[in-house]
Amino acid sequence: MINNSYAKINLAINLIKKDENNYHQLDMLTSKVKLYDKIEIKLAKHKNIKLTCSNRFIPCNSKNLVYRAANLVLTKYNIETGLDIKITKYIPIQAGLGGGSANAATTIEMLNKIFKLNMTLEDKISLGEQLGSDIPLFFHNGVCRVQGYGEKVSIVNNLLKDMVIVLVKPNRGLSTKQVYQNVNLNTCNHPNVDLVVKALENNDYPLFIDNIANSLEESATSLKPLINEMIDELYHLGIDKCIVCGSGSTIVGFTKNKDVALKIKETYYNKNNFVFITKMI
């Protein structure tokens, strides 16, 4: 079985507070986009989980979320069959696009079908939560509002589907842990997520553009100033609004002009940066 494993972008992230265990409560909006890895799973005669990946920088052992997701399902449902799993990567790593988490969620979905486990959505979410707080959102399609520590997920009715989205990433990524540790909640941006939801539900592009923001952006750009330089260039090229995606280092640009998107793609392709034109799913 081969399935697509879709990346996500953030439309808004508001970090509300940090608790005594250094975990952040948040309010954010995410959406899957038409950029995906491919996951292939085959039943094997051996009794192990054998993982291969097209990206040589990604570990193919128990440190990999796909390996851990597969092992979790096999253990929970007392399945002794071995698995050969192949990941073909198109989503860049250390990009804030959720590639690893998406791959884990896709693996759970695929094993549910392969072994006819009849998991409910709640079953899948419960497994995902054991692997990472952002994995449950990948079991949903469309725009999701994620609150608390990532455990509260609700669907937003998105009518703003004609936007063109441009993803641009510097050649080097950022550490999620380092970006979160570097956040200053007193000085970072705190977007009004309610207004972004209102914009999506009412097909109000100007309201959307005025209110999307990311509390992590100040931290990400201080750690990698090149991001700010790229954002300035994207505005010069005609993009309507840019925000850093997740903890970075990908920049998400929004426009309704396909020609602007194509000009940006040509510019950054010639600079050997990752650049991709897409839309929300």
**Residue 254: how many CA atoms within 13 Å on its side-chain side?**
24
Euclidean distance between CA atoms 92 and 88, whole angstroms = 11
CA distance 225 to 221: 5
Catalytic residue among 8, 32, 124, 169: 8
Amino acid 262 reads: L
Active-site residue, from 32, 37, 89, 134: 134
Distance CA 48, CA 34 (A): 32
Residue 155, beta-bridge partner list: 144
Q: Which residue has the tokens 């899948």?
A: 124
On whether the CB atoms of residues 112 and 105 are closer than 8 A, the answer is no
Active site residue 8: yes
Q: Which residues are catalytic?
A: 8, 134
